Amino acid sequence: MRLILVRHGETAYNRDGLGLGRADPPLTDLGLRQTASAVEQLAAEPPDRILTSPLGRAAAIGRGLAERTGAPLDVREELTEMDVGETEGLPFAEMRERFPGFLDRWRAPDPADVAMPGGESLAQVAARLEPLVAELHAFPDDASVVAVSHNFVLRLLVCRLLGLDIAAFRAFSLDLASVSTLSLRGGQASLRTLNDRCHLAGDSAPSA
């Protein structure tokens, strides 16, 4: 099975380096262009099914691709971004001032069980992805599925599919509107492409 993972386009929170989880700010002009470019790229090989986070910044790609290709679209709550709790909308400097103890624990070698202040931990996000992982492995070998989601969720999904520890999420980045591809067969996964941004041309942006 071919699994295509797509991160949403830019919002003002991403542009300004603010904490972003369950909030749903609109896409910026750049984010709208990134969304259109991602849809154009993905439509070249229409998927059999599209899964998307319910948050608008991700669903814009999922819905655009469904309209373009006619592929069925499933809105999946488990693809919602990590709940970042009280850090939502905060710049890093203010986050560091308000939650110094949390940041010290977050920077530890294994932050899996460190919960965001008032929010989720990486381990909790990984746990809610488990049923989806099983579902993905159950697709026919010739199927093609697109999943549109968010930074933490997608990196944890990659780690889970590849059998990596949660702490390995720090070993790679997934930039805004990037596309990554995995092959799933016989309960195993292999990484084919990671953080592909070629479709964005000049419409790239930092990955915050």
| Digit-coded pLDDT (tens) for 110-157 | 999 999 999 999 999 999 999 999 999 999 999 999 999 999 999 999
pTM tops 0.85: yes
7 contacts 76 by C-beta, under 8 angstroms? no
8 counts as catalytic = yes
Residue 81 a catalytic site member: yes
Q: Answer whether 81's CB lies under 8 Å from 120's CB.
A: no
Could you tell me if residue 207 is inside a domain? no
**41 belongs to a structural domain:** yes
Q: Identify the active-site residue in 8, 10, 88, 120.
A: 8
Average pLDDT estimate for 56-82: 98
206 within some domain: no
- Quick check: is 118 in a domain? yes
End-to-end CA distance of the chain: 30
Beta strands in 8-122 (DSSP E): 49-52, 73-75
Q: Where residue 73 falls among pLDDT bands split at 50, 70, 90? A: very high
Whether 86 is covered by a domain: the verdict is yes
Percent of the chain with pLDDT over 70: 98
Banded pLDDT at 202 (limits 50, 70, 90) = confident
Q: How many domains does the chain have?
A: 1
Question: Is residue 82's pLDDT more than 60?
Answer: yes
**CATH code, 196:** 3.40.50.1240
The answer to the question of residue 45 being in a domain is yes
- The one-character DSSP state at 86 is G
- Provide the 10 A C-beta neighbour count for residue 24: 17
Q: What is the predicted pLDDT for the residue at 201?
A: 81
For residue range 143-194, list pLDDT tens digits in order.
999 999 999 999 999 999 999 999 999 999 999 999 999 999 999 999 999 9
Residue type, 73: L
Provide the domain limits for residue 30: 2-200
Strand order in the sheet with 144-149: 73-75, 49-52, 144-149, 2-7, 179-185, 188-196
Catalytic residue among 10, 81, 88, 120: 81
- Does a structural domain hold residue 208? no
Residue 205 within a domain: no
Give the whole-number percent of the chain exceeding pLDDT 90: 96
Please determine, for residue 9, whether its predicted confidence score (pLDDT) is greater than 80: yes
